[in-house]
Chain A
């Protein structure tokens, strides 16, 4: 009996039992009017701007049949140059969030009742007019950072309602950076930094790869200076009490006591003051500087900060030897009350090291600088609590979450006589006490403009059909302030007119071009001399007040700190299930948000890894699971700010981390304190099983993620590794290309594969990978990967096709290496040879195809795969409505019982094939861009055809750093890694 006949007969039984196959009678996709730019089955791309953080990266949104299904970076956009971060990729889930409100909610007798958008708009307009009729300042407003246009709309409306301008509130408003810039440079703002031009970079906490100012932009710039090029690479030193993801990318971590970064910076100032380059500063500046820094001798610095004298010397020598050094200040979540001193010292240091400040751009300033300091936000609520205000408008912000337990805030939110309107797409804590919750259209559904960096125009436009016909905030305010006139989208006309007034566009043609491109990116950039025009390097007397003498800190002061993380930033990403499902890079823990502490700290407090601990500060207490890690200095407990709505079902389960922090703001800068002295840490005796995706913290000598000291990187591959005659041991194995030339009759059991014209391959440069996880989110979006949740991850059933493995160096556990792992598309694929039904199949272009309809779920392949990249569908994963609308129609949604894995984005390869056939040519190098490659902010992944001798992948495969993961297994992977370059010999 033939195999096919057997299967047919065997299948009949199940068919007769199961009855009918899935109902084919579904409706076809049809429209009322033909879309001018929509071809059914083909994607249309629209340029817009990401609003997941104030950085404002340019996006291209992939639109299919009326809905947006993928976001990618806009290559023309100067901020992100075509790349997106993990949050930008997950922004898609914001549109389709199951928690998104569908209608406005009006509170009647304490219960929210849905009302129509038209009715809600009328309520807002009527309330505002009534308030304005009563007198001045009866309407107050608070908003997140918005673009110039929307802020203008708000202020015009408020002016009409005889009220003061809106307050811009951001949880991370960089108060100390701005104050330091005012004190030293005479500019209360946030210049951008040319990290790419530096050769030595020192950061005093700036988490520029995660959340700081503009992370995608800085990640790209950082790797321009830090990636290996011409046998050299820049140096990055991280100074701080813990090693964040940014710190993990550093060549040296100078672990200091919290709050002593400023002392170290001043120690450096002392070293460089009056030496070397001649500063063009006002008279007396150098002397004063010298006097201020004189107290910070090496001994004092070492004693205060707890760093070793050697580390301080390395730091000094690195900066001294640098051609173009750059020093960055404190991070987004300003830790400690010493931040202002640190940032001022950093500014002075930059001034000393480079009096021209060539690496600072005072023109291309970050938009987030318009955010008011935290103290102003507190004052705002105090004022509203006392003044006779009738209407409070809160736009896309959650002050109740960020300012917990403040009487002014709770008083305002509970005041009956005050009508509170919350503009928010999902319920939040502030909205719960509002009288009207107005879910405005998502920024991917509405018109706006947001330039993350000054001097350009970056369009925000509808890229998808409106899911709930929600009007944009701009539309609501324009209509409310003009008595309901303006039509359906007055904001579009407003943005158009405003750009015209500002001289950014001249006519309709310009407008169409700007909307098509995504903005005005090249116009009006000033010359170099203009860039510093606004800066008056004339430090006033105030600056010296900042430097009180060295404040000796008790060596054993212990801290609890809350920092923003790359996944949840200020917490707004809590309902995006991808962000919870993708594990934290440092801990490899998904869905849970443990507090991190050093093993010594745990021993001292007599708690253990995985235990639920009760943390008590002067403000209150809360419980967290604790994760043991060498990446935190002893004496500190640190937790990243969990997402709002951070839980498996995306219900608002909060961690009360913010309520442990001091309520008062810092005296000079007005910023918040993100750390608090610890009063007590107690174990509860209860333990949590972490939903972790790593099997081990180290590689156990398996030769997976390799690194090479800088001095040993030579022009050719290490002798012995390029020759076929090299040993085949775990310590010495050759790079065997997955091509016929990699065939060795003495070593191979199976014959070589004859590939036709293409052999797809991927190069992953470990020296460029910073572990940010953007590739993982992009892969989830592109390939319809199921989200499995906390319990399933505990069972090891996560579905990610690409993952970032994290390994500690066994000798220096504070050093990490990140390793992107996806299907290696081996030429000698262990999965292919064990499948009883040949479901993994080697294609003529070298891909390891997984044929879902052939797979019978034996899972032999996963068992035989040494890379653990095959994922089995143990269940039918569900997409909670309306999340299913974002599924990619070009990729099969896999069902229960089949195996799946990375396909090198076969749908994109096929698309490129189609285009090449249309134009009667071959596929060009770089034409196929898988989702992970596309989004990688540091350009760590390259994809191409290994059979083309001119392709980038073929050339990189000859790099002396090239190797294959566990190459001794002779699987001949098509994914070739380039070793990470570490300092030293």
Chain B
């Protein structure tokens, strides 16, 4: 078929089905716009919202509080530990004690409920990660968790096996399935 004819046929097809085409295009575009608006507001990619807007940037970065002050078990347990409510109040009974967010902290303390901090980093259940071994091998917190010092909310990492394996290979660490990570 010649190009002119093809063009003409195509044009006629469009004219004949203009409404349908416009509706489909509109649907696709509005769906795209909806998805963009849904997922791309400014706060989308900064990590999960926490019950109290705790800022790692301020505490660990600006104030240079050592990670281990709040995560005391990181060098002696599989789990780094999340500070108990009382620990926040050690300081915040004096520092910005009347701030509405600190009052929330008090409310948790008085009600006897731990703050429901939301998990940001994700490991599948069949991975048995041990913080202690990594800290003792002097792996820096940032090596896995990223630049915490500049994050307000923890953006969190969805760790993938490749990430672990690459480092284990490089450092000649344990590559055995069970003895290494899984069981």
What is A's interface to B at a CB cutoff of 8 Å?
24-34, 39-42, 841, 843-845, 847, 849, 851-853, 890-893, 903, 906-907, 909-910, 913-914, 917-918
When distances are taken between beta carbons in the complex, the residues of chain A under 8 Å from B182 are: 849, 851-853, 892
Question: Does the CB pair B77–A32 fall under 8 Å?
Answer: no
9 interchain residue pairs of minimum CB distance: A41-B79, A24-B122, A41-B77, A30-B114, A41-B78, A31-B84, A849-B178, A30-B82, A40-B81
Interface string of B55-95 (1 = CB under 8 A from A): 00000000000000000010011111111111100000000
Given A30-B114, A39-B77, A903-B183: A892 touches B119 (CB 8 Å cut-off): no
B113: shortest Cβ distance to chain A, in Å?
7
15 A-B pairs with CB atoms under 8 Å apart are A25-B119, A26-B118, A26-B119, A27-B116, A30-B114, A30-B117, A39-B77, A40-B77, A40-B80, A42-B73, A843-B177, A845-B176, A851-B177, A913-B179, A918-B136
The secondary structure that dominates the B interface is: loop
Question: Does the CB pair B117–A41 fall under 8 Å?
Answer: no
Question: Does the CB pair A32–B117 fall under 8 Å?
Answer: no
Question: In whole angstroms, what is the CA distance A910 to B78 when docked?
Answer: 12
CB of B126 within 8 A of chain A? yes
When distances are taken between beta carbons in the complex, the residues of chain A under 8 Å from B53 are: none
When distances are taken between beta carbons in the complex, the residues of chain B under 8 Å from A24 are: 119, 122, 156, 158
Interface string of B24-57 (1 = CB under 8 A from A): 0000000000000000000000001000000000
Question: In whole angstroms, what is the CA distance A672 to B109 when docked?
Answer: 57
| From A32, A844, A906, residue with most partner B Cβ within 10 Å | A32
New A-B contacts (9) at CB < 8 Å, excluding given A845-B176, A853-B124:
A28-B119, A31-B84, A31-B85, A32-B109, A41-B81, A42-B76, A847-B179, A914-B130, A918-B136
CB of B148 within 8 A of chain A? no
Question: In whole angstroms, what is the CA distance A844 to B179 when docked?
Answer: 9
Question: In whole angstroms, what is the CA distance A907 to B176 when docked?
Answer: 14
Question: In whole angstroms, what is the CA distance A24 to B128 when docked?
Answer: 16
B69: shortest Cβ distance to chain A, in Å?
12
| From B48, B77, B81, B119, residue with most partner A Cβ within 10 Å | B81
Question: Does the CB pair B77–A27 fall under 8 Å?
Answer: no
Question: In whole angstroms, what is the CA distance A31 to B124 when docked?
Answer: 24
Question: In whole angstroms, what is the CA distance A27 to B119 when docked?
Answer: 5
CB of B125 within 8 A of chain A? yes
CB of B132 within 8 A of chain A? yes
Question: Does the CB pair B112–A32 fall under 8 Å?
Answer: yes
Question: Does the CB pair B85–A28 fall under 8 Å?
Answer: no
Question: In whole angstroms, what is the CA distance A869 to B21 when docked?
Answer: 62
B133: shortest Cβ distance to chain A, in Å?
7
CB of B115 within 8 A of chain A? yes
| From B76, B122, B176, B177, residue with most partner A Cβ within 10 Å | B177
When distances are taken between beta carbons in the complex, the residues of chain A under 8 Å from B128 are: 890, 892, 907, 910
Question: Does the CB pair B83–A30 fall under 8 Å?
Answer: yes
Question: In whole angstroms, what is the CA distance A845 to B179 when docked?
Answer: 9
B92: shortest Cβ distance to chain A, in Å?
15
When distances are taken between beta carbons in the complex, the residues of chain A under 8 Å from B86 are: 32-34
A45: shortest Cβ distance to chain B, in Å?
15
Question: In whole angstroms, what is the CA distance A841 to B178 when docked?
Answer: 9
Closest to B79 in A: A41
When distances are taken between beta carbons in the complex, the residues of chain A under 8 Å from B179 are: 843-845, 847, 906, 909-910, 913
Question: Does the CB pair A30–B85 fall under 8 Å?
Answer: yes
When distances are taken between beta carbons in the complex, the residues of chain B under 8 Å from A890 are: 128, 183
When distances are taken between beta carbons in the complex, the residues of chain A under 8 Å from B178 are: 843, 847, 849, 851, 903, 906, 910
Question: Does the CB pair A891–B183 fall under 8 Å?
Answer: yes
